[in-house]
Amino acid sequence: MSGNEKTACQTGKESHRRGSDILHNPRFNKGTAFTEAERDALELRGLLPPRVCTQKEQEARVLANFRRKHSDLEKYIFMMALQDRNECLYYRTVIDNLAEMLPIIYTPTVGEACRVFGHIFRRPRGLYVSSADRGRMRRLLQNWPEEKVSVIVVTDGERILGLGDLGAYGMGIPIGKLALYTACAGVHPSLCLPVTLDVGTNNEVLLADPLYTGLPQRRLRGPDYDSFVDEFLTAVHETFPEVLVQFEDFATENALRLLDRYRNRICTFNDDIQGTAAVVLAGLLSATRITGRPLKDQRILFYGAGAAASGIANLIVSAMQTEGLSAEQSRGNCWFVDSKGLVVKSRSDLAEHKKPFAHAYPFIADLAGCIQALRPTALLGVSAQQNSFTQPVLRALAEINDRPIIFALSNPTSKSECTAEQAYAATDGRCVFAAGSPFDPVVYKGRRYAPGQANNSYVFPGVGLGVIASGARHVTDSMFDAAARTLAATVTEESLAQGLTYPTLVTIREVSLGIAVAVAGVAWQSGLTMKPKPEDVTAYVRSFIYEPDYSSYA
């Protein structure tokens, strides 16, 4: 969206709004920042306290109140209320304080919020599409007040982070993800639509809860589920033909199947599979600069063998091939351990997505035994099993590596395979550590370690911005490879010296811009868009970025 288009998007309806109507519309409300002239022109005189405040003064008030809250969940509720009241101020506050705000508006706090989403419900945000809406989905989508939607994040709530089936309470995830699209990459909030597909829940606690806000019935399965999702996506394509659809937190079987079915039919990707893969690949590429061992020489052991592990492994295989290995050699460097033990060819109980990584090797039941036998250089946790990286496991890895790579990727923090402190202590401070959730710096034997966070927000907002700007018809694995390499290249030598495998969060908007430019470049190079390629791609992509500043309201 160009600067002129952004202004129109922000202010197009403002001239038709007066008085209390504008104060109750989060898109146009500036609260106490309305000027004297605006108060007269918009019939606001007397409806606001008399002093005119700057946006910076409003932000200071927000932060003071935010920091007085006694729990992270209270902070989450406070920020959601601000988003519902004054959208511009919300994003200004989040962008100016990313390191403090991201753990509240998304992981890990969003997991706690989703657990009790119906109990903290204040005001609807996004669309709930239930199995009772069959036959009228296009009409339902037309109820959305925005005529143009560029990105939809959709979940069916079955695998929310590492918490499992939260049904309709999973709506917190699309809301949070789309807030990051705006905060981290500048996608205008009016272009973002959160959707929850309510197909029931098998969570007994929710089914027994009289305050549960979703359908109190068991989940749709089989052909009924598939036809429901297909009807929804068909209606989406008819209503918003150029929209990007991001699948989020579907259970492994459905996640892999739906991605395979729709990736070449519509513009779509699955963040748990492809976004996670890109951010992990970026972290591994950074880690190789610390360890001095190239990616093609890494042997990677995955603890957990679901959709995330499959997506990560497949992208790593592609990346190793670019470094000269064959596909077979690359897959030979990736090993899975699931709930039953090592994934090997002799097992007869393997799901299809595990079979490409099932090697001809004796079965081993326990993780420590796998490490001793396979001698991996990197251990990646995608299991949602808290404390599964025990001290013996971590020590076994440290005994065979000078700089073992340990990524405890499961979210939220309560599901992390180990803490940063446990990893550094068990490896005598030698590990290269990153986690899916944020951990505070660790002081071990007088040295300070700053653990990195393998946060998908480094990748998916920039990918989305690049797709929107270029008008790409599909999202490809090449785009995620480009995103991973762009992200890894932003990590400075100074950061690497601290053991950091990701850039600091304060740079994330520039990082997202770089990723968007790389993704758009892939779209043009691959012929995935009809838009003519501009002479200055960076300037063109930058013109789509929304800045939450009252001065742009004109």
Question: Annotated catalytic sites, by residue?
Answer: 106, 177
Give 80's contacts (C-beta < 8 A, 6+ positions apart).
Answer: 122, 125, 175
Give 119's contacts (C-beta < 8 A, 6+ positions apart).
Answer: 211
User: Both tokens of residue 453?
Assistant: 């966070």
User: Among candidates 300, 304, 301, which has minimal Cα distance to 319?
Assistant: 300
114 within 8 A of 101, measured Cβ to Cβ: no
Compute CA distances 78 → 34, 74, 170, 188, 361, whole Å.
22, 6, 19, 22, 53
Q: 394-415: buried (b, 16+ CB within 10 Å) or exposed (e) per residue?
A: bbbbbeebebbbbbbbbbbbeb
What is the Cα–Cα distance from 91 to 79, expressed in whole angstroms?
10
Helix, strand or coil for residue 272? Answer: helix
User: Among candidates 361, 299, 356, 293, which has minimal Cα distance to 328?
Assistant: 356
What is the Cα–Cα distance from 2 to 35, expressed in whole angstroms?
26
User: Among candidates 403, 449, 456, 455, which has minimal Cα distance to 422?
Assistant: 449
What is the Cα–Cα distance from 275 to 281, expressed in whole angstroms?
10
Task: Write the burial class of residue 196 (CB in 10 Å: 0-12 exposed, 13-18 middle, 19+ buried).
Answer: buried
Give 421's contacts (C-beta < 8 A, 6+ positions apart).
Answer: 439, 442, 444
Give 83's contacts (C-beta < 8 A, 6+ positions apart).
Answer: 26, 90, 125, 179
Q: What angle do CA 248, 507, 56 make, to 5 degrees?
A: 100
User: Among candidates 264, 245, 217, 139, which has minimal Cα distance to 460?
Assistant: 245
Strands 341-342 vs 334-338: parallel, antiparallel or unpaired: antiparallel
What is the Cα–Cα distance from 419 to 441, expressed in whole angstroms?
11
Displacement of CA 51 from its chain's centroid (Å): 40
What is the Cα–Cα distance from 265 to 259, expressed in whole angstroms?
10
